[in-house]
A and B are shown apart, each in its own frame.
Chain A
């Protein structure tokens, strides 16, 4: 039986359709494996080859990967929650309660979204502490640290904007307090407060604005920064491994860039 399955897989892999999608071809040679990464639009962000030590648990604790994992869970569960949630004053709270008590698996999806959100904030901080205390933020990776700080801010904003959507007392007063903090900005504080809420108080406009920020603007920005963040890992010489770090930390010189261009 396994012989038959293998043969079928081989047939599929050699079919014209398969080869038109995966052009790198099949095979286990180093070249084929490298091509499989390099010619895939998603995987080409990453290095073709990595040192084994980079992939060990101790070097990263997989905190960045776990953060990305929670982000993917949040996208999937969030899109599903959007199918039942209306960002309007009369309906928002009732929709949230419907998700808990009426919609099949609604409670599971809502709780998964909520817990993943908490986990993501925790993991982002853990990831940053790990990077900081290992010194992995230093040259040539300093720009990727900056991107990481941006992603931290986006994560916190996602968490904050999502907090209003249940439209309960906790949400209402948390956003009242939070948005009033923005009024403390010198000179333009009250303008920022007005633009953020789309009015002078937390109301229908604020709910809609926070919904759009939470579901469209912030996730798209986060995805863009995540792509750059992953790509920079390769460009900055792979994941940081303490023992193998060269003594002289230098920016990629022309020879390296020329080699990469090939």
Chain B
């Protein structure tokens, strides 16, 4: 670095000498190469194709759910709730650190086994470390008459699906 400052301190009029010029060129190209390598590494490490299950789930016929029932689909991590107002789906993954919650019929709550977060049937937080309520998921009825849930799309709470 002192080499670069030398021209300014010794004589302002003095031009960049050959050694300092090539040092700058060299460092500059190394910098560009390093930035390119970082970008390359980031792109390489981010998979473009994921073999993960589809976010859209077919939960079956609406008639198969009793009124005032909460059904956990452990494989897809969602609750299908049939309330008096209609159907809705909740994400069953705890908003704290991603554990799978369970429905407790006796206490009428959703509880997380990992750190003790508790939610009511509408996904609202009752207690525990969870920072947010369980999100409501977009739910609709397919042309075949099946209930469909999109795990990747959150909706505002209390939007019941009436059939």
Contacts and interface: CB of A to CB of B under 8 A. Distances in A.
B46 A194 contact: yes
Contact of A177 (B42, B46, B98): B98
A176 B51 contact: no
Nearest to B100: A173
B97 A177 contact: yes
A173 B99 contact: yes
Contacts of A179: 98
Given A173-B114, A177-B98, A180-B98, A203 B46 contact: no
A205 interface: yes
Contacts of A195: 42, 45-46
Chain A interface category by residue count: 10 to 19
Interface in A218-236: none
A69 interface: no
A122 to B, nearest CB: 25
Contacts, number: 31
B99 A199 contact: no
A198 interface: yes
Interface string B25-43: 0000000000000000010
A173 B96 CA distance: 13
B47 interface: yes
B52 A200 contact: yes
A205 B97 contact: no
Interface string A137-177: 00000000000000000000000000000000000010011
Interface residues of B, number: 12
Interface residues of chain A: helix, strand, loop or mixed (majority): helix
A119 B97 CA distance: 28
A205 B44 CA distance: 13
Interface string B93-104: 000111100000
A111 interface: no
Given A195-B45, A195-B46, A176 B97 contact: yes
Given A173-B114, A177-B114, A203-B52, A198 B97 contact: no
A91 interface: no
Contacts of B97: 176-177, 180-181
Contacts of A176: 97-99
B109 to A, nearest CB: 20
A258 B108 CA distance: 78
B50 interface: yes
Contact of B50 (A173, A180, A181, A199): A199
Interface centre among A177, A179, A194, A204 (most CB of B within 10 A): A177
A11 interface: no
Interface string A179-203: 1110000000000001100111101
B28 to A, nearest CB: 27
A101 to B, nearest CB: 28
Contacts of B42: 195
Please list the 10 inter-chain residue pairs (A to B) with the smallest Cβ-Cβ separation, ordered nearest first: A180-B98, A177-B97, A180-B97, A176-B98, A199-B50, A195-B45, A198-B47, A199-B52, A173-B99, A177-B114
21 contacts: A173-B99, A176-B97, A177-B97, A177-B98, A177-B114, A179-B98, A180-B98, A194-B46, A195-B42, A195-B46, A198-B47, A199-B47, A199-B50, A199-B52, A200-B50, A201-B52, A203-B51, A203-B52, A204-B51, A205-B47, A205-B50
Interface of A: 173, 176-177, 179-181, 194-195, 198-201, 203-205
Given A180-B98, A195-B45, 13 more contacts: A173-B114, A176-B99, A177-B98, A179-B98, A181-B97, A194-B46, A198-B45, A199-B50, A200-B50, A203-B52, A204-B51, A205-B47, A205-B50
